[in-house]
Amino acid sequence: MKWNKLVKSILKTAVYIMDQTAERVDRVSDRAVEMADDARDMVAPREDHTLRNIISFAAGVGVGVGAGLLLAPSSGEELRGSISGKVQDIGNRVKGRVSYATGTDLG
């Protein structure tokens, strides 16, 4: 009877130790995964396509405006004058914003 209790006690202790070891392994494994993800982000950060999307949108708007001007019912001279005026207006706005952002005068 005493040997039975001793064997049960040893087995319970072994199971407890294995359970604790498994929990530690899980924590260490989770930490290793986190470290691997951090290292991967440092080596090859995830790409941000915001600027590319904004430029694509602006190009699409420009093509749409250009097509609208070209397809509008007006004479060639009026159309050329309109396009020239709009291009100059956009150029002046861009220069103004760059000047404001950089604190320099581009005009």
Per-residue model confidence as pLDDT tens digits over 1-54:
677 777 788 878 877 777 777 677 777 778 888 888 887 777 776 677 788 889
pLDDT over 70 at 105, yes or no = no
- Give the pTM: 0.32
What pLDDT does 59 receive?
Answer: 92
Quote the tokens at residue 40.
């991967």
Average pLDDT for 61-84? 78
Q: What is the DSSP string of 69-91?
A: HHHSS--HHHHHHHHHHHHHHHH
Nearest CA-CA partner of 86 in 101, 55, 65: 65
* pLDDT reported for residue 2: 74
Evaluate if residue 83 carries a pLDDT over 60.
yes
pLDDT at 103 over 80: no
Alpha helices by DSSP H, listed for 1-107, are 2-43, 50-71, 76-102
Q: Which structure tokens are listed for 60?
A: 């699409």
Cβ–Cβ under 8 Å, residues 69 and 82: yes
pLDDT of residue 57: 92
Cβ neighbours of 95 (radius 10 Å): 13
Q: Residues 107, 95: contact at Cβ < 8 Å?
A: yes
For residue 87, pLDDT over 80 is answered with yes
Question: For helices 76-102 and 50-71, what crossing angle results, to 10°?
Answer: 160
Two structure tokens written together for 52: 């590319």
